[in-house]
Amino acid sequence: MRRFALLLWLCGCVVPERDMYLWLEEIESEKALEWVRAHNEKSLELLTADPQYAEIEAQARAILLAKDRIPAPDLRGGWVVNFWQDADHPRGLWRRARPAEYEKPEPAWETMLDLDALARDEGENWVWKGATTLPPDHDRAMLFLSRGGKDATVVREFDVPSRSFVAGGFALPEAKSRVSWLDRDTLFVGTDFGPGTLTKSGYPRQVRLWKRGTPHLDAPLVFEGAEEDVSVSAFTSFRPEGSFTFVARAKTFFEADMFLRAEDGQLRKLPFPDDASFEGIFQGHLLATLRSEWRGFPAGALVSVPVDRPDAAEAVYRPDERSSVTRVSTARQHLVLNVLSNVQGRVVKVRRTQGWELEPVALPDGGSAGVVSADPFDDRVYVGYESFLVPYTLYAIGRDVRPVRRLPERFDARRLAVDQFEAQSPDGTRVPYFVIRRDDLAFDGSNPTLLYGYGGFEISMTPAYMAVAGKAWLEKGGVFALANIRGGGEFGPKWHRAALKENRQRAYDDFISVAEDLVRRRVTSPRRLGIMGGSNGGLLVGAAFTQRPYLFHAVVCQVPLLDMLRYHKLLAGHSWMAEYGDPEDPEMAEVIRRYSPYQNVRPRTEYPHVFFVTSTKDDRVHPGHARKMAAKMEAQGHDILYYENIEGGHSAAANLEQRVKRTALEYTYLFRQLVD
């Protein structure tokens, strides 16, 4: 075998590296879980015994479980619906109140479902994954309940007025199901109907029309996609002027065939390009945000097309080079847009008269502002504003803008300042980033600094109130930096596309450039610099520390992708090939191999001490990524820490108690690495 490998090497052929740790991809195997428990024990023993752990844990608990948090409003049928977790209800309460009651300092809530009681009565580890309710009254709901935090859910019909599950009602066994209402007795359903009904990504390949009282397996087919697609679904947009039903065939993560479904079941393809993001319908106008130029409208523009005149396209909103539309919401008589301008948020109301009329909503500058909830049957809209140092404030907008609730201050921000700097990436691109620091910071390289990033899937990193980090990190002299690297959506589709597939290295170059700029400005030094990221951000920090090991002294790698030559074979990974490329393509595989952390960690390189955090129940990003990387680094002689929540899903925390613990572990680790 060695002679054969030598011959391959001499002729210039690539010899695949044997993966010694594939057994760690067996999520629930006893051997793998024994490895997990041993590493958990080691990490917990070390970190919880640290004198700082108890203080950080108490601070995180006081903030995350505080009774005076703002209950997030969800407007549905004249009610404010909210899902609430606290120390007394760690799994949570699904509850509601009328808007006038909700806006009181101490609202009287009507509990619809106590998830803790349900879990106790049924002997299940239920984690809330949301509910879809039937407009306009919202008196019937399909509840999504997860065992331990997985994306896969059990779906059950719930009667809201009686606060009870419907006997003999709609119900689905555990799967990654998609369900939406057509009317009180009819659902569109996509689920695991048996062999050949799921895509390679593990999502529904079929959508069917399910009538009450019939088995879901017998429901007639509405649409079927290809095995290579990401998923197929259908949904109805309910509005005062009428209802419209749509079928979506997601061919990739960023491309979809969208169809308007007639009452007779006929499908008419919408006129937008496949890579447009369909935003729904408003007063007879179909809406989409463009990812590429179309009919003279630039990428990033929000455009409209009348349902009955597909050639009569108009621009609703045209962002500039440093702006992007990040969300479109519909109320009864107006649209509400979330807009980013140089990574700072604004809200814009849009009305339809002779054309589209724009009206900026008067909110504070210098932070993040956006819609929290809107209902197509209501003119009331809730929006929120926050910044790194200013607590979250909830506003109601109608004819005017009025504050409804304000989060109490969680840390002392009086001596803190926020800067927005730019770093230059190797190709000359200017990459913005925020720095939150003491206002009397000595720029001498001695400051413990945590740099956070994501850089993928067109997701923007925006200012957010730093409740826990402010108390546990900033108050104690730590510096926090947030990088707005390519791959994200901060400046629209072009910013995202710049780091796709063969250009993925640009995201890592951007992040490393921000780190180097922090050192150049003497905010910090490699000895005092730590990095953190989760999911795609876990891949980001994995690539960063394997490419520039001398630049960092701490790495918190959360629920990460790390083995990028196998990511498409693990759980939902196949659905992300539009982002990362296909490892089965030899040319793309070579691009991926150059940055994939698992393939690039070396035994004779000195790496920073890494803390891997993941979850057994994460059925989106496979825990095998973190397990295998940790095992390989240990075998090479590197010192690492590893913690895997045996439940918790993609957030690595199934409830607030678990989030408290994870937060305390991570910040204790950071203090040990960067401060001690």
DSSP 225-271: --TTSSEEEEEEEEETTEEEEEEEEESSSS-EEEEEEPTTS-EEE-S
Query: Over the stretch 56-80, which tens digit does the pLDDT of each residue have?
Result: 999 999 999 999 999 999 999 999 9
**pLDDT range class, residue 18, cuts 50, 70, 90:** confident
Average pLDDT over the chain reads: 94
Look at 493-502, 562-571, 619-628, 641-650 and tell me which has the smallest mean pLDDT. 641-650
Task: Count CA atoms closer than 13 A to 220's CA, side-chain side.
Answer: 4
Taking alpha carbons only, the member of 151, 41, 47, 27 closest to residue 556 is 47
Residue 656's pLDDT is: 77
Contact 602, 636 (CB under 8 A): yes
What are phi and psi for residue 49, nearest 5 degrees?
Answer: -80, -15
Query: DSSP secondary structure string, 405-432?
Result: EEPPP-S--TTEEEEEEEEE-TTS-EEE
Average pLDDT over residues 342-351: 95
Q: Give pLDDT tens digits for 311-329.
A: 999 999 999 988 999 999 9
Tell me the two tokens of residue 370. 């956006």
Measured at the alpha carbon of residue 76, what is the angle toward residues 73 and 77, in degrees to the nearest 5? Answer: 140
pLDDT at 374 (0 to 100): 97
SS3 79: strand
Beta strands in 361-489 (DSSP E): 368-374, 381-386, 393-397, 401-406, 416-424, 430-438, 449-452, 479-483
* 579 Rama sector, left if φ>0, alpha if ψ -120 to 50, beta otherwise: alpha
C-alpha 467/C-alpha 494 separation (Å) is 32
CA–CA dist 393, 95 (Å, integer): 21
DSSP category for residue 195: T
H or E element at residue 600: helix 597-600
Q: Is the peptide bond prior to 136 cis by the omega test (within 30 degrees of 0)?
A: yes
Write b or e for each residue in 439-459: b if 16 or more Cβ atoms lie within 10 A of its Cβ, otherwise e: eebeeebebbbbbbbbbbbbb
Per the listing, tokens 């809530």 go with 109
**pLDDT 10s digits, 188-199:** 999 999 999 999
The stretch 635-641 carries a mean pLDDT of 97
Q: Which residues are catalytic?
A: 535, 650
Instruction: Provide the residue count of the chain.
Output: 676
**Tokens coding 83:** 């899902």
* Phi, psi dihedral angles at 442 (to 5 degrees): -85, 115
Query: What totals of helices (H) and strands (E) does the chain contain, helices first?
Result: 14, 37
* Per-residue model confidence (pLDDT) at position 646: 83
Q: According to the model, what pLDDT value does residue 398 have?
A: 83
Rounded-to-integer distance, Cα 397 and Cα 370, Å: 12
Beta bridge partners of 177: none
pLDDT at 650: 52
Look at residues 333, 338, 377 and name the one whose alpha carbon lies nearest to residue 351: 333
> Considering the chain, what percentage of its residues have pLDDT values greater than 70?
96
CA distance 378 to 332: 5
207-265 pLDDT per residue, tens: 999 999 999 999 999 999 999 999 999 999 999 999 999 999 999 989 999 999 999 99
CA distances from 467 to 157, 183, 296, 535, 651 (A): 37, 42, 44, 22, 18
In sequence order, the β-bridge partners of residue 435 are 419, 481
pLDDT 10s digits, 35-56: 999 999 999 999 999 999 999 9
d(CA 211, CA 220): 9
In the numeric block, which tokens belong to residue 608?
């920073």
